[in-house]
Every structure is written in structure tokens, then in C-alpha cells.
Structure 1
Amino acid sequence: MVGKSRKAARDDGLERTDNNMELSSWPQIAAINQKNYYTDYLKRDDQSLAFRLQNEEARSKMTKAAKDRDRALATAKTSEPAAEAEAEADEDAKMEDTEEAPAEAAGSKVIVIHIGSQNLRIGLSSDALPKTIPMVIARKSATSESEDQEEPKPKRLKRDDDSPVEPEKSFGSEWSAQFNRMSADLKVHMRQNKRRMLPNSKEMVVNYNRRTAPEAISEHNDPMRVDWTELSDPPPEYIVGQAALRVPDLSNPRYKLYWPIQNGWCNERDYKSKRMLFLDISLILEDAIKTHLGLTSKKDWPQYSCVFVIPDLYEKSDVTQILEMLMREFSFARTCFIQESLAATFGAGFTSACVVDIGAQKTSVCCVEEGMCIENSRVNLKFGGRDVTEAFIKMMLHDHFPYAEMNLWQRHDYLLAEELKKNLCTMNEGSVSPQVFDFHLRVAGQDTRKYNFKAYDEVHLAPMGYFEPTIFDNEHKVDARRTLIERSKDIYDGQLNDPVSAAQSEILSALAPPLPSDDKTNGDEPAEPSDVQATPSKPQHPSAVSKVQEAEATPRSSVAGSPAPEAAGTPQAGGAGTPAVKDKESAEKEKAPRPPTVDERDDIIPVYPLDSAILTSIAHAARSDEKKMRDFYGGIMVVGGGSLTAQFHQFLEERLQALRPGFAKEIMIGVPPRDLDPQVVVWKGASVFGKLSGTNDSWIGQLEYDRLGHRLMAYKCMWAY
């Protein structure tokens, strides 16, 4: 056919007759060669929306800078008439104004928010200090919170005829025995330190408090009288902040206080719906922005950015809800998150430190190195300054406190108890002696009453609860947990994806209750050791360092018939069929605490001695690196309102040195520099972070959030989200 003419092709019957028409109008796509098939779709970071927008923004800034530079060079080389020169000067002035605006907005257009169990700290990034507002809201109700509770707080025991028992027995024999033991240990310690003390100091305090009567003071003679919140007509549906705490308990109509954050997580015990819980949080934030920041019009809020502080061990479902609130309800232009311990190092100017944050109801420990929180060092304990307040009042009532009717459910009693704790509690043993104090009880609609009382070792033993947390009331801290907010789960495999920490898991394992005697497990699973206690009453809990020391000191079992191990009192996993002779590895497995299951984690209250928790955190952060361990021991920084107790830093340093004598010279407790208030160090660090507009790539914009939602957190967070 090749080379044949059309006539020859027609003669041979090979002439083309299809008019060059295709068989179909659909485009014909060649099949993919399966042997050499490759694509990089969504395999590079620069293909995701978050990074593309960052690159586009950087490119637009570079283009604008180049145009401005060319314009300046052209203006310098050409000589134009005076009118044109003035016009260009005006244009340059406008350009300078636009260039100065972003620099000014970096500080004055950024709102920094740090919420806690007791206080909210909020302010602009350009402010020197934040505004502190109680994290509470009062809502209209049929009864107040003091009328809802049948039992006073702290709870007292009663006889069968509902008559009160003696103060020494009102809190139970177990609590009284622990209180008396702590008091006896303090006396021994003071004698060892050559401190003088009277032998009958406790009796002197009790006898004085028994016979003390209050003194009535008329309201017009009281210079420090309280200005209670006056309700308008009609009364508002809710009251926020300090004004809510000043609403009288017997107001008309009644108001009930709600604390949306309790023990560092969302308060699911006092709320009936998740919507109301986050609605109260948004109302408190909205009132603070309008009242204390002066941004009364919501139309101005889209011009502002927001830096929000979250805990080190956060819960993803809470962070997701907060992000939606900030982007949808508040309509901020940009939002970013920072962890508490990292913010504390920003505020103090440290590159690496072991941050101990003692709040009102939560204490967190985390080691920070080179601008990153070490994941396995994060510890979250559920006690704080408010637990010290309650323990202090219990101890005072135990020693015949003259105001025996004190009930922390009542607002005036709660404010009085916080004031007494702040003024009296100390960790200085030199201040432990029978001393006379006084306070004024101010109740709405009643005359002021002045009480005189004596206190002895209660002022020291109450903050000692940080190191012996079983003296606190830990009974209801996990009530109603997971009733409103479910755990965050992976959408693909259904696994839990909340952050975990090896240090926190070790503490929960040490606090896990022992296995019941009727449990039958396989022979290869470790049995529960008998020395694991359900409550951290002693500081000898297993830590990452002590477990290594115990493992090295564990003798190898003999091949011959050996006596039963120390944990023989505990039912063995294999029952009668378990061999008595075990090798060293199996013995160490038995000695290790049983790790709690996923369901048990929410039932275990993480209350653990603070000094042991710090050592556990540092041990997991250093990972047997002695140089790192020494660096963290020498860089412990204590922040938070709970650290304001007098001589707390020196006392904590002595406790750590006693537990780790080999590192006694390196252990040092630091304080925030420049006499900065420890309560605002975290907020101050977040405000510094908010000013880093040029190097901060963790901002989430409205366009990104509209398209990707909370999935952006995986790209935007500086840590592994």
C-alpha cells in the first residue's frame, strides 16, 4: 500500500471511504502504563492549602517590597515638577502609613486569652499586664448553690438525731488520724532543726478558740464594707465575673453560680448539656472583651487576631470546640494556640526549663527544651490552691474555729476562706507558733462580725497537702466525667487520638487499684503487686529512676525451691498453677504497676505528691541522659497562683534534694525574672508569642478554616497535634 497512488489503491480495493471521521465524539484517552505509574498528589507539604496560602502571602509581600524599592529608585533619579513631587510625597506618606499599620497591629490587634478553673486572664498583646476576671457566671435560678446542697462544705459528720458531733470527730477518724500524724511529723522535723516550740501549743489554740465570742460592728462603722451587687429592674438573666461573686445568696430573684472550667477540664458535673457549657464560656469571654478591652462593637472584632492558651495535656474535642467558637461566634481574623508550659518559658525568657504550674484546681508539670514541650514529660494533677483552701478550713474547724458555721458553698464564706489562706498560710517553719489573728465576717444585710482566733500548725500543714494530697477531698473530682463530652476518636480507625504522656501513664498506673482476687489472667500477664497503693500517701511511689534502681537491686531467683516473693499476699495471676520459681524478668514484670485500661483512666483521680511528680517528669524528659537531667534539675521554674505561698520555693527545693541526694547541688527552684507575678507569666509568654507575626506560621485564617475546619490543626500547630 505504501507508495501506491489513489487509482492503484482503488483498483486493489483499498481506497479510504470513511471521510476521516472518528468513531465517536468522546475524547480517546490512552491507557496508563501500569508498569511505570507514579503521582505525587498530596504527597508534598506545599500542595496543601495551608502551605499554599503561606507561600502566596510571602510572595505578595516580596512583590510589594520590590515595587516599593523600584518606585523609590525611580523617584530619586527623575526630577519632576513641584506639583508632581508633592503628589508623590503624599503617595509615599500614604505608603509609609500602610507600612506602619501592620507593625502597630502586631501588638495592638492581638487578643490573648488564658482561661483557668478560677480566673480568666485576658488582654491585648501590647498590654504590660492582663485583666484578671473570675471565671464564673451567675444565672437566674429557683435556688442558690448553697440552698441546693444538703451538706455544707467541708462536709461534717452528724449523729443519728442530726445533731453535730464534736469538731475533733466531725471529719471522720481517718482524716483526723492523718492530720494528727502530719502534725506529729512536723514537730519531729522542727525539733531536728532546733526550733523552739511549746509542748502544749495545740491545747492553747483549742482552749482560746472555744471561749472566743464575736464582736458586732455596725455597717456604717465598717470602713472595709463590701459593695454587694445591686440587681437592676428587671434583673438580668446572667451576671459575669466579680459582680457574680458579689450577688447575695438570698437575693431576689435567686442566682446560681456556675464555673465552666473545673480541675482543668470542662465542668460536666454541674451542666446538663454541652451547648450550655460552651455558651457560658463564650458569654464570659464576650463580656470580658466588651467590658475590659473596650471593644463594645462586634463589628470591630474581625480586625483582631486571637492567641489562646491550652493545657499541655489537652483534649482535642475541647480544642476543636474552642476553635469553632473563636472563628464562628467571635469572627476573629486569625487564631492560634500555644501550650501553657511553652508560654511560661516565653514569658520568663528561658530556652529550657521544667515548668511547674500550680493553679487553683490543677497542677501541671512539663519539661520544655528549645521551644518544644517534651511529650512524655507532661503531667497533669487534679489539685491546686482551692484544695489548700478547703483543707485549711477543715483543719481550723477541727481545732474549734470560732466561726463553726462556715460553709464554702456560701459566697461570702468562700471569699473569706480565700482571703484567710492567702494571708496566713506559709511554708516557713519559723512562723509555726500559736498566734492570734482576726477576720471580719461580712454578710449582705447583716452587721459585720469581728472574730479573734488562734492558729498553730494549720497554716503550714494545709499547703503541705501538695506533697500529701490524700489530705484533700478528692471524692467528687471525676463525677459525671464523659457524660457530655465524648473522647476524641480517629475518623479512620476509631482509635483514641488525645495526646498521651509516658509520665502521666506511669502515675496513673501507680494509682490504679489492684486486681480483684477472682480475676483470671493468662500466665504471661503480670500479676498486680501488693505494694501499689490506691492513694499516694507516701512519696515512695515508683518513678522512672527508682524503677531502674529497683530493677538493678532485684536478686535473681534460685533454681531450687525458694520462698514466696514479697507480693505473696496478692493473689497470683495463674492461681494454684503458677510456679513459685520465676526468672528475673518475670519478677520485674510482677513488680511493675498494672497499666490502667482506657475506661479506667477516667475513673482514676491523678492526685500524686508534687515532688515525686516533678522527678517523674524530669526522668522521662532526660531519658537516662545525666547531662539533661542535671540541666532540668537546675532549671525548675514554679509559676501559678499556688506558688505564692511564703517560702514555698525553698521548701520544694529541700524536698527534692532529700529525694535525690545525688543531685542535691544541681537542684534549684527558679522564679520568674524581673519580679513578674507568677500568676501572669503564662499570659505574658502568650502575648510575646502573639507579637511574632513574621516568624509565626501557626495562625489559622478564616479562608483556611472555612475550607478545612479543625483539620488545619495538624498543619498549624508547632507540636505533634
Structure 2
Amino acid sequence: MVGKKSGRALFKEEGLQRTDNDMEFTIWPQVPMINQKNYYTEFLKRDDQALAVRLQQEAHLNARKKAAVDIDRARAQAAYDGVPYAEANPLDEDLVMDDVGDENYGLKTIVMHVGSQNLRIGLATDALPKTIPMVIARLADRPEAEDGEPRPKRVKLDYSAPPEEWFGDEFASEYSSMAQDFKTSRRTNKRRVLPNSRELVTKWNAATPPEIIPEHSDPMRIDWTEMPQDPKQAPHYIVGASALRIPEKSKPRYRLRWPIRHGSLNEKDYDSRTMLEQDFFQILEHALIHELGLERKNDWAQYSCVFIIPDLYEKVMVSRVLEEFVRVFGFQRICFLQESTAATFGAGFGIACIVDIGAQKTSISCVEDGMVLEDSRINLKYGGYDVTETFAKMMLFDSFNYSEFNLMRRHDFLLAEELKNRFTTMSDENISVQLFDFHLRAFEEKTKKYSFKIYDEGTLAPMGYFRPAIFDHSDKLTGRHTIVPRSTDLYNGHPNDPLSKAQLDVVSYVNRNVPSAVMAAPTQAARPLPTPMRPTPSKNRPLGLPSHLNGDTDGTPRSSPAATPPPEDLGTPHPTGDEANGDEISDLKVAQPDTELIDRTVPVMPLETAILASIHHATALPHPETDRRRRDLLGGIILVGGASKTPYLNSFLEAKLRQAMPQYPKEILVAMPPRDLDPAVLVWKGGSVFGKLRMTNDSWISPLEYDRLGSRILNYKCIWHW
């Protein structure tokens, strides 16, 4: 076998000489190996590498270019006309180009604030918003009053039974306890208390029938929504105040639906997510067309929208609103603003504790320098509607002569709201047995004038804010997350809706003190939902292997056949100690929450206790000026929301807080909104102030950004931690 010859042998024997021409074996570039010991990358390490930031910088640069061109054109025109040019806005790096010109940026900015009972909408330049009931009526076989049980709920529907037995022993015991405590407090305040006041009320109401008034003698008769003669020409849906004025026995029949319930999507009264979202956006679209006069949808592309969301929001709902506004409504840009932040904008406060009492939800948050302090956020599931229902229940308990009171009927609901606004107060100065009257007006029925007496019902009903056990919590969690899934983390499958330590304090309080707000465990699953489970950890996991890749740790989502709805506030370890005192920073013990128990807990807490818990968690972190911040928050408590207009509620709450915090006798101050602003529209007013700011704030989302990143753009655009 002949071996390989060397180059010298080939040259001597055959005259062949090997030469090097410096040519590579391939034209493809050779990538050297990465030195893993000193590995480094700049990927997404700078702000200008993020799409949202790049687009904002490009828009700012284009605005500067446009302003420079306009100034050059003005200079040339002035030179042509032979007049000196007065340069009012010289170009420099500190000048915001959006301020060049006289355009009113709020003129084409729509501000929306959606509540459980009302929608407030208007342009940012409007002094006050338009208020529309957040209700839609659709064609149906039967109205809502014929399908559901009457409200307030009766344990016994037999009207021949004594009224004291209609609502069960639990309500009777709590009502009697509240009345006795109220009588004791009045005597302490040197008020006159008659021993038989309750008996005088019940005897009068039980023995006084209504007075019939002919229709032509009633100057305040209701203008009901007229239906066409031909039922086939009736509209498929009616929105707002007109829906509440549809007669119960109209032809054809309509059924009222409220898409928002307790501050979130109403899954209790809907069987389809598509229908729920359709009703929600149909109300918004109707308001844009009929209230703001934007009849042509092609013009909506010229408008921006500020959408106000709760402090403890649901990511699925926010993402869905963003998608609809971009894809269907076609707004030029959209931004989201939290309620408490908007309230501070409207009130002009730099630091405050915002207490927003709505129709079915009360939210409490501490705000400092335009940012909501995350651990201070509280969402309570009670509001003005609970006071309305409890007031009606108390009057029925005291032999109210209109025993058929049913809030599911439209005219009774409007009547109950009227009675609450007239007779509820937090002042005990003029509490005595008094005679009042009201008129019951129903479609195609003669007007009935009822004369009735009340004693302390008008004060005890709003007292439920401080003793929430008197409210009915039996169905407030019915249907939660059965048709609208909860947002979950992409990597571990855990729920990732925002959660706060203060909210977990509320859950702990309910489980200890309000048994009626803890729902019974479901016996059978309505429909299976994937829920995270904690598997048994493996003892033989290879060293260095990440837990989420091994498959045997608590980071891996597992599916479960259980259909327990995901929790209202779930996700992270929470303190298990007593509720915060507010004067000391206690050591927080971290424990794993009972997931099943949180799922079934209605978050309610006395209002003054919830405020102190929120302020405590807002100032719990060590800080050199912690005591000063706590004093500023205690002195900046602002009551907003429609239900906060109960007379003397602010002074009563202030007295409760001072009683709970005697070490701050002068610092505590509960104030109504400044400048005589309506508390019901203050949040919207703050959104309008935010909407009139120049385009330099980076919270606006454009359709281009949404097309590129989808709902992930919210991570970059929200002015809080998404």
C-alpha cells in the first residue's frame, strides 16, 4: 500500500509543487463560539429598543420637524409681507412641540367612566358628563320581574304571615341589635328617645290603606316609553333611561339587563359571554351616537378615548375593551386610567385616600403623586344599592303598607331610589316618628298615595356601611368566572389579576366576623375550569434544573375537574394577623391562603376599618417620613361616588375614625370634593383633566402599537404596574 507522499517528494519525482492561494473553503461567514463565561447581550436593555418607546420618540421627532417647518414658513411669510416676525415659541430641546399652536387637544377626547348602575360619558372639554343608566332592554318572552324572586328577598312569601318573619331570624336579630345600639348612642348624646316609637310606626302603617288618585288629578304622572302600534316594528333593544320607563306589560315584552354588576361583568344574569359583551359595548355605542352626537362611525377615527377602570381591575375585561376600541370603534388612540388616580386629578390633591362609594362597589385606595399605592387597594362589594334594598327591607319589617314592594319591578326600583334619596341620613338630630307620603305610579293603573311613618330606618340603612352584616350577600358571587375566564400567567398558569395586602385583610376579616358573606362550598361543578394545583415535590430533582422545567414542582399548572370559580382576589401569600391598627407597623407573617375559602368569600368590611387598613398598608414599608405620610393620608380622606352624597356621611365617618384612632385627634379629616363638585362625577372630571394634557404623556395606545404587540402593549403603556 502506497503511503501519502510529502510535498518535497512530489516536487523531486513529479515536478509538482504545492502553493497557497489564501482562498477560504467557503464564502459563508464563520461565527466563532460564544464564550459562555463572559456572555453579555444588550437585547431589551435600553428603552429605545422597545417598540412603544421608539414610536413615541418618532412621533415627538415628527412633531418637532412639523413645528420647525411651520416656524420657517411663518418667518418667510413675515419677510415677504415686510413685517417683523415675533418668535413666540423658539425652538430648543426643552420645548414641547405639542404646545406649539392653539389647538384644543381635549376637543376630540372622549372620557368614559362605566359604573354598575350609571355610565358617565362626555368630551374632555365638557363641564359635566352625560349620565346614562347602564341598562339595556331586549325583546323577551317575560320581563325580569316574572323570572326572578322579588327583592328584597323574602324567606316567607306568605303575606299573611307577620312581617317580622318575612326575612328570617338572622336579619331580625341584626336589625334589633342595630336599633338598640342606635338608641343607646342617642341617649349618650342627650337625645330624646321615646320607648314605644317602633310600635307607633308599625300600628300606623298596618292600619292605613292607600288613597286612590285619578290619573287626571296627578300632575306628576310618568311619561312611559311608547311602543309602536305594530309589535313587529318595535326596536330590538332600548338603552338607558328609556329602558327603565318601559311598562312591565308592554307589547312586545322587554327584559332589562345590567351588563356590569358589583364593578365587574355580570355573569349571573347571562348565559353567553358573547351576549354579555355585546350588551356592554352596545350601550357605549348608543351613548356615543345619541348623547355625544357622533352619528357617523367614520368620524370616530379622529377621536381619542380615556377609559377609567377600577383600581383592582380584571385584565381580561381591560384587554377586551382595548381590542373593541381598536378593532370596532376605531379610535385614534386609547388610554386607561385608574379611578383613584382620576379622583385626585379632579380634586387637585397630590396625596389623598380616595373612598369611592358607588352603587354596588366601594373602592378605597391611597394615592401619592398621581400613583396608586398598590398594597392599599381595597374593593368592597357593597354600595348605594345595598342601602336602597336594606331601607326597603326595614320598612317592610315595620309593617310598611305597600307590602308588594319589589325592586325587580321597574317602577318600584325607581320609587325605592326616590325614597332613599329623600329619607336616608346619617344625622340623628331630627330622628323621631314622622309622617310622610309617596305616590305609586304604575302603567295603566290609578295613582296610589301612601301615607306612612318611619322612625330610625332612614339612619340604620346607611349604617350598613359600618355594619355590613345587615346587607344581603347571598348571591353576590353567583356566576363569577363561569363564562368569562380569569386572566392567568402565561408561564405558570396562576391567576395574575392585581391583588393587594389590604384586600387580603378584608378576606381575613370576613371569615372571622361576617359568616353571612362566606358562601357554602359548591357540591357539584357547573362546568370544569382549569385551576392550579400544588403537586408533591420530587426529592430527586436534578441539581441546576429550573423548577418550571422539571414538571414536579408548584410552578407547573395542572388541570382539575373542580369547577370552583376562580377567586375574587387570589394569588400571593398574605398577612394573617389582625387588621391593621394604622399607628404601628406590625411584622407580617406570610402564609399560603386557603384558595377554596377565598373563592367563596364576599369582600366586605366596615368602612372605617377598611380605610385604616388601606392607610396602614400604604405606609407599612420603612421610610424616614412614614409618620408624616400617614398623617397626610388621614387628613386627606375624600368621599366620592354617587352613594357618598348621603347627608352627614362625611361627619359620621370622621367621628368613627377618630374613635378608632384617638392618637390622631386633629389630623383626621373626611372631606367632600372641593369647589362644590358633584361627588358622583368627580372621577369623570379627573379623567377629563387627564385627557386635556398634551400628547407628551406616554400612556396613549395607538392602533399600530396594538397591531404589533396586542394586549402586551399594556405592559409598556399603563402608568402603573400592569
Q: Same fold (TM over 0.5)?
A: yes
- Indicate the RMSD between aligned Cα atoms, in angstroms: 2.7
Residue 616 of structure 1: aligned partner: 613
Say whether residues 1:51 and 2:48 are aligned partners.
no
Shift of 1:15: 5.9
| 3-state SS of 2:675 partner | helix
Aligned equivalent of 2:701: 700
Shift in CA distance, 670/10, structure 1 to aligned 2, threshold 3 Å: farther
Please state if 1:69 is matched with 2:68.
no
Residue 150 of structure 2 aligns with which residue? 152
Deviations 1:198-223 (A, max 9, x none): 22211111111111111111112111
**Residue by residue, what CA displacement relative to the aligned partner does 1:108-130 show, whole Å, maximum 9, x if unpaired?**
10000000000000000010000
Kindly indicate whether residue 189 of structure 2 is the aligned counterpart of residue 193 of structure 1.
yes
Aligned to 2:493: 494
Q: Residue 601 of structure 1: CA displacement?
A: 2.4
Of 569, 573, 580, the match for 1:544? 580
Aligned equivalent of 1:117: 116
| Corresponding residue number in structure 2 for 1:557 | none
Q: Which amino acid aligns with 1:112?
A: V
Deviation, structure 1 residue 248: 0.8
SS at match of 2:450: strand
Bigger helix fraction: 1
| Pairing 1:640–2:641 present | yes
1:229 has 2:225 as partner: yes
2:581 alignment partner, SS class: helix
- Pair 1:208-2:204 in alignment: yes
- Aligned twin of 1:264: 263
Per-residue deviation at 1:341? 0.4
Kept in 2, the 8 Å contact 1:303–1:333? The answer is: yes
Q: Is the 8 A contact 1:426 1:645 kept in 2?
A: yes
Query: Cα 1:229–1:74, aligned 2, differ >3 Å: closer, same or farther?
Result: closer
1:664 Cα offset (Å): 2.1
Q: Does 2:600 match 1:603?
A: yes
Paired residue secondary structure (1:430): coil
> Is the CA contact 2:67–2:100 (under 8 Å) kept in the aligned structure 1?
no
Q: Is the 8 A contact 1:505 1:595 kept in 2?
A: no
Residue 555 of structure 1 is matched in structure 2 by none
Contact 1:618–1:632 (CA<8 Å) still a contact in 2? yes
- 8 A contact 2:98–2:694 mirrored in 1: no
Give the corresponding residue for 1:653: 654
- Alignment correspondent of 1:42: 44
1:628 partnered with 2:629: yes
Q: 1:683 maps to which residue?
A: 684
Distance in 2 (alpha carbons) for counterparts of 1:57 and 1:487: 35
How far does residue 489 in structure 1 lie from its aligned partner after superposition? 1.1
How far did 1:480 drift? Answer: 1.2
Matches of 2:98 and 2:394, distance apart in 1: 62
Q: Which residue of 2 aligns with 1:167?
A: 163
Contact 2:415/2:440, CA 8 A, preserved across alignment: yes
In the aligned structure 2, how far is the partner of 1:71 from the partner of 1:101? 14
Contact kept, 8 Å, 2:582 with 2:616, in 1: the verdict is no
**1:380-429 CA-partner distances (Å, limit 9, x unpaired):** 00000000000000100011111111111111001100100011000010
Asked whether the equivalents of residues 137 and 258 of structure 1 are also in contact (C-alpha less than 8 Å), the reply is: yes
Contact persistence 1:258–1:270 (CA under 8 A): yes
Distance in 2 between residues matched to 1:157 and 1:508, nearest whole Å: 27
Letter in structure 2 aligned against 1:175: F
Please give the alpha-carbon distance, in whole angstroms, between the structure 2 residues aligned to 1:549 and 1:69: 58
Q: Residue 512 of structure 1 contacts residue 596 of structure 1 at CA under 8 Å; is this kept in 2?
A: no
Shift of 1:17: 9.4
Please give the per-residue CA displacement for 1:52-94, whole angstroms capped at 9, x wherever unaligned: 00000111112222233334444555678x9xx9xxxxxxxxx
> Displacement of 1:484 after TM fit?
1.0
Change (3 A) 1:321 1:63: same
Aligned to 1:530: none
**Cα drift, residue 274 of structure 1:** 1.1
Residue 500 of structure 1 and its aligned partner are, at CA, apart by 0.8
Q: Which amino acid aligns with 1:253?
A: P
Q: Summarize the Cα distance change of 1:236–1:635 in structure 2 as closer, same or farther, 3 Å threshold.
A: same
Gaps of at least 5 residues in structure 1 are 1-7, 86-97, 517-540, 552-587
Q: Is the 8 A contact 1:158 1:164 kept in 2?
A: no
* Secondary structure of residue in 1 paired with 2:438: strand
1:344 alignment partner, SS class:
helix
Q: 2:16 aligns with which of 13, 16, 28?
A: 13
Q: Does 1:274 align with 2:290?
A: no
Distance 2:701 2:709 in 1: 10
Deviation per CA, 1:283-324: give whole Å up to 9, x if none.
Answer: 000000000000011110011000000000001111111111
Q: How far 1:43 moved relative to its partner?
A: 2.3
* Alpha-carbon distance change, 10 to 299 in structure 1, aligned in 2, over 3 angstroms: farther
Q: Distance in 1 between matches of 2:101 and 2:238?
A: 37
Query: 1:34/1:14 Cα in 2 relative to 1: closer, same or farther (>3 Å)?
Result: farther
Deviation at 1:105, TM superposition (A): 4.8
Question: Which residue does the alignment assign to 2:28?
Answer: 27
Contact 2:154-2:167 within 8 A present in 1 as well: yes
Secondary structure of the corresponding residue to residue 239 of structure 1: strand
Q: Which position in structure 1 is the counterpart of 2:461?
A: 462
Deviating more after overlay: 659-668 vs 708-717: 659-668
* Matched residue, 2:376: 377
Q: Distance in 2 between matches of 1:168 and 1:665?
A: 44
1:175-574 aligned within 5 A = 175-232=171-228, 233=230, 234-512=233-511, 542-545=578-581
Contact 2:431 2:455 in 1 (8 A): yes
2:424–2:647 Cα contact (<8 Å) kept: yes
**Aligned residue in 1 for 2:131:** 132
Unpaired segments ≥5 residues, structure 2: 1-10, 85-96, 521-576
Q: 1:46 to 1:597 in 2, by over 3 A?
A: farther
TM-score, reference length from structure 1: 0.83
- Inter-partner Cα distance in structure 2 for 1:11 and 1:629: 99
Report the CA distance shift for 1:305/1:438 in structure 2 as closer, same or farther (over 3 A): same
Counterpart of 1:423 in structure 2: which amino acid? R
Write the letter of the residue equivalent to 1:153. Answer: R
**SS of residue paired to 2:490:** coil
Instruction: Tell me the CA shift for residue 158 of structure 1.
Output: 2.9
Structure 2 partner of 1:570: none
1:278 is paired with a residue of what secondary structure? helix
Q: What are the equivalent positions in structure 2 for 1:567-606 lying under 5 Å apart?
A: 596-606=593-603
CA distance 1:344–1:546, change in 2 (3 Å): closer
Q: Distance in 2 between matches of 1:313 and 1:30?
A: 50
Secondary structure of residue in 1 paired with 2:663? helix
Q: Secondary structure at the match of 1:386?
A: helix
State the secondary structure of the residue aligned to 2:436. Answer: strand
* 1:212 counterpart letter in structure 2: T
Matching residue's letter, 2:580: A
Could you say which residue in structure 2 is the equivalent of 1:556? none
Deviation at 1:16, TM superposition (A): 5.0
Q: 2:570 is matched with which residue?
A: none
Using the alignment, how far apart are the partners of 1:68 and 1:274 within structure 2?
A: 51
CA distance in 2, matches of 1:257, 1:101: 49
